[in-house]
A and B are shown apart, each in its own frame.
Chain A
């Protein structure tokens, strides 16, 4: 029983970070009707901004994290929207998907060129001391990762549903033309979406890199798992991305512990196939259209 609890808590902690990344997929889908295949690299890059801050500039960790967050929001939020999405979107979703793939490769190779191919140590934001919970030993880091990730997703949901700006963002996503007639500044709302996506990616980066270690190739796995989590949960619902992320995190650990470690990497794909066959709109998704 303690082992099951152990695996469950570890899976939830990792899955909650997958959820953060998956929410980003959902947001960009709503705002630009495209799949951002550079999302994994968006999570990889902020960790290197932190390393530049601490190692090259010599900043304390908290300041390096804060600066990395700002730089990420500007570069992979605002500039991504201005330089990649806006010029290419009129050419269609497929063109933009290909552009994000190219951007992903560019970011990955740039990180490798600038910081090398080897993994780099990344400081943990929280203590890693183990805590005993009913026989399961988990670290404070895992618990706080889980709390922060879930907290951010809940806050984001509240922001989108309970604030004027949030509702404007939803309106802009559902029907941009009508939203504009009703006085919503659609361009600004779309920009907000991209900025939030960048901030979520940076947060996921800060939480997961102490475990993954900073490496140029981190985005490959993360991007794929988060993409599948978003589809499994329901691509048009933030709560769907949350459910998908947590589900994959937990099932991955349970599979590796009780069934097979060798084929664990195949689990998200199996889950994806099952969901597409049984419930194409995803576990929490709706077939009614787009909404953030």
Chain B
């Protein structure tokens, strides 16, 4: 019962943040220099043209009217239109494919980070001070210093330029067309993304699993003569808790890295799209991205919190 209450409360508490995100996204329009008017009129637009455009876009209405118009559009799936890059194309349509590419890359990177990080971390916790432990410590320092985009360049150089694998340089990720080739194309970006963050996961996993062995209640369970498998189960349960919180954080880092790695591999995701859009200041596109990314991360934090609540009764209060 208290678990459901906790989940409900977490949901409710996410709402104000979500509303603030819409304010932030909406506000972007006003920090963009020149904004849509300059973009539409071009540098050579006459003042009269600009006045007309302002009128047409409804930029003279009071702020709250503009906000409500925008947000009601968002709820009906209308995020506005492109102005410069592909005039008239709805944003929603423009973003669909790039979002998917970024999603798959982030997922792939997270998978690599988790599999590599958790296994190295767990192994070095079981055998502290072994060569593996030393290696994991060193590699975790190295991996959080090495930028993922550099790692991507090196991988691309080695596999694409020296070995000349076609999939290595394709950047084509479209599971609706060619699943196998998409998987191959994802391999290098996912490794670049995941490996750079596996060090962090490994370090935290090792620390937590190592610490939990010496927790008094684990000692007490041993002394009370509980069977080994029961004690190990309890160790895993308690050791996994902090790792869950790191999970959300790691996925965030990988998502950020995806933007950069996409540029390296020429994968047509949000990152590549954003870089192109940045030069033209497609304000509606930026607004939509802020909204989407913000919402996705609010939901992800929510999910992490809920997972934590399921695993640890203490946070439910």
A and B bind: no
